[in-house]
Chains A and B, each alone.
Chain A
C-alpha cells in the first residue's frame, strides 16, 4: 500500500497557537475578575486556609490549574504508550491502523515531565501541605500523621520519583517508537519482537508507577487522606480519557481525508473500549465510595464529606457521575452508535471534559476550600488553562504524528487490521 503521511500544515499550527494565545488571554481576564470580586471574601478565606499558605487564592487557583492540566495531559500521553504496549502483548491485530496515533502521544511525555518538575520546584509549598518543614518539627504546627509518612512523602524522594517515572516512561516509549520506525524501513521480524519485549517492560513499570504516581501527584495534595483504591481510580480516569483522545484524533483525521483504511469496525472497537472503561471507571469509583461510606473512618470519610456534603462541590460531584457513567453508558450501548464517527466523537469529547472535572474534584477542595466552585470565573481561568495545555498537547503529538507514515508499513499484523471486520 502507498505511504500516507499526516501533513501538519501551517494553518493547523496557527490554529493551535491562536488557541494557546486565547487561553492565556482568558486566564488573565479571569484573574482580573477574581481579583475584583475577591476583596470582600479574602478575610474569610484566610481563616479557612491552612496557616502556611501565604499565596492569595487567585495565585493558588492558577497554580492548581497548571498542576491539574499537567497531570491530566501527561496521563493521557502515558495512556497512548500503554495502549500500544498492551496491544503488542495481547498480539492484537485490529489496532495496527490506529497504532501510530497512540504512539505519537509519547511526544508529550518529556514536555509534561518538564512542566511538572518546574511546577513542583517553584510551587511545592502552595500545592503540597507536606512540603512545609514545620509540620515535622515539634511545636505548634507539628503533625504526627505527616511525620509518620515522612519516609515516603519528602521533597527529595518525591522529586526523584517524579524524574524516574518520566525517565522510565520516556525511555521505554522511545525504544518502542524507534523499533516501530525501523520496521517501516525493513520488514525484519526482529523489530516486532523487540517491540513486544519493550512493551512487556513498559507494562511492568506502568503497573507500579501508575499507582504510585497517582498517590504522589493527586492523593498527596490531601496528605492525611488515603485510599487503597486511589491508584486504580486515577488510572481508570486517565485510561478512559486517553482512549477517548485516540478516538477523537482518529475520527478527526478520517474527517480530513486521512486514515481511509480505518473502517467502522475499527471505530466499533475503539467505542467498545470507551464504553467498557467508562463502566470500569464507575466500578472503581463506586468501590472506593462504598468502602469509605461503609467503614466510615473519619480520615477516609472526610474526602467525601468535603465533596458531597458541600454545596460548592456537590454539583460537580454529581455531574461527574452523570457525564462519566450515565452518558457514555446510555449513548454507546448499541452496536450501531459505536460505529458512527460523529457519535463516537461527541461521546469522546464529553468523556474528556468529564474526566477533566473528575481530576478537578479530586484536587480542588483541599487546595481552594470554599473558593473552587462552579461560577463564571471557571469559564475564564479553567477554560483558559485547558486551552493552553490542550494546544501544547496537540502541537507536540501532531508534530510527532507527521514524522512517520500514519499506518505502519511492515507490521506483521497489518493485513489483519486492514481486513478487520466486526460481525454484528
Chain B
C-alpha cells in the first residue's frame, strides 16, 4: 500500500444496506476506492461501477498455451522421438490426443489464472503479512474504503454521508 495516504473507512453490518448505500454514496459524488467483504456480495461490482475483469483473457491465453504444449509434447513423443504401433493406429492419431489436449488446456488455464490473480493481488509466499484496513472484514463486517486525496469533500462531510446511508461506524486511517 502507498504510504502517506489518508482513508475514511465506513463499516457496514448488512449486505443489502451496503449495496444500496454504495449506490447512494456514489450518486452523492463520493469516489469509493474499494469495499472489503467477508463473502462475495452479488450486485456489489455493478453498484461500484467496476468493469468486468480481464482475467478471462489471461485464461484464454494460458489455455491456448496448454493446448499447444500438450499437442507438441504428444506429437514429439509419439510421432518422432519414440514411435509405437498401438492397435494399428497412425503414429499421430489426433482423436486419441484430444482428451489429453483438453486436460493440458484446463491445467494451464487454471494454474495460470490462479497465478495471475495472486500476482495482481500481491499474494504469495513473499507476502506473509497481508495489509488489512480492518481485520473485521474477514469476519462479519463490510468495510468501505474511501481515499481522501481523490475526493473533494472533507472528513466530516464524508462521515455525514456514510452515516446517512447506513454505516454503523466511521473510522479514519492514515498510512505512514
Chain A positions near chain B (C-beta within 8 angstroms): 286, 289-290, 293-294, 296, 421, 423-424
Complex formed: what's the CA distance from A286 to B97 in Å?
A: 12
Complex formed: what's the CA distance from A423 to B96 in Å?
A: 39
Q: Is B3 interfacial (CB 8 A cutoff)?
A: no
Q: Is B73 interfacial (CB 8 A cutoff)?
A: no
Whether the Cβ atoms of B87 and A423 lie closer than 8 Å is no
Q: Is B49 interfacial (CB 8 A cutoff)?
A: no
Residue of B nearest to A335 (CB): B52
Whether the Cβ atoms of A423 and B43 lie closer than 8 Å is yes
Beyond the given A421-B43, A424-B52, could you list 5 further A-B residue pairs with CB under 8 A, ordered by the A residue number? Answer: A293-B96, A294-B87, A294-B89, A421-B42, A424-B46
Residue of A nearest to B40 (CB): A423
Residues of chain B within 8 A of A289, CB atoms compared: 95
Residue of B nearest to A422 (CB): B42
Instruction: State how many angstroms separate the Cβ of A76 from the closest Cβ of chain B.
Output: 30
Complex formed: what's the CA distance from A151 to B134 in Å?
A: 73
Instruction: State how many angstroms separate the Cβ of A330 from the closest Cβ of chain B.
Output: 13
Contacts known (A421-B43, A423-B46, A424-B46); A290 close to B96, Cβ less than 8 A: yes
Q: Return the CB mask of B81-101 against A: 1 if under 8 Å, else 0.
A: 000000111000001101100
Residues of chain B within 8 A of A424, CB atoms compared: 45-46, 52
23 A-B pairs whose Cβ atoms sit less than 8 Å apart in the complex: A286-B98, A289-B95, A290-B95, A290-B96, A290-B98, A290-B99, A293-B95, A293-B96, A294-B87, A294-B89, A294-B95, A294-B96, A296-B87, A296-B88, A421-B42, A421-B43, A423-B42, A423-B43, A423-B45, A423-B46, A424-B45, A424-B46, A424-B52
Nearest first, the 3 closest Cβ-Cβ pairs linking A and B are A423-B42, A423-B43, A293-B95
Residues of chain B within 8 A of A294, CB atoms compared: 87, 89, 95-96
Instruction: State how many angstroms separate the Cβ of A7 from the closest Cβ of chain B.
Output: 37
Complex formed: what's the CA distance from A424 to B88 in Å?
A: 50
Instruction: State how many angstroms separate the Cβ of B168 from the closest Cβ of chain A.
Output: 25
Instruction: State how many angstroms separate the Cβ of B105 from the closest Cβ of chain A.
Output: 14
Residues of chain A within 8 A of B46, CB atoms compared: 423-424
Instruction: State how many angstroms separate the Cβ of A232 from the closest Cβ of chain B.
Output: 17
Q: Return the CB mask of B68-88 against A: 1 if under 8 Å, else 0.
A: 000000000000000000011
Instruction: State how many angstroms separate the Cβ of A187 from the closest Cβ of chain B.
Output: 28
Complex formed: what's the CA distance from A290 to B42 in Å?
A: 41
In chain B, positions 39-63 with a C-beta closer than 8 Å to chain A are 42-43, 45-46, 52
Instruction: State how many angstroms separate the Cβ of B96 from the closest Cβ of chain A.
Output: 7
Complex formed: what's the CA distance from A293 to B87 in Å?
A: 10
In chain B, positions 109-123 with a C-beta closer than 8 Å to chain A are none
Complex formed: what's the CA distance from A289 to B43 in Å?
A: 43
Residue of A nearest to B44 (CB): A423
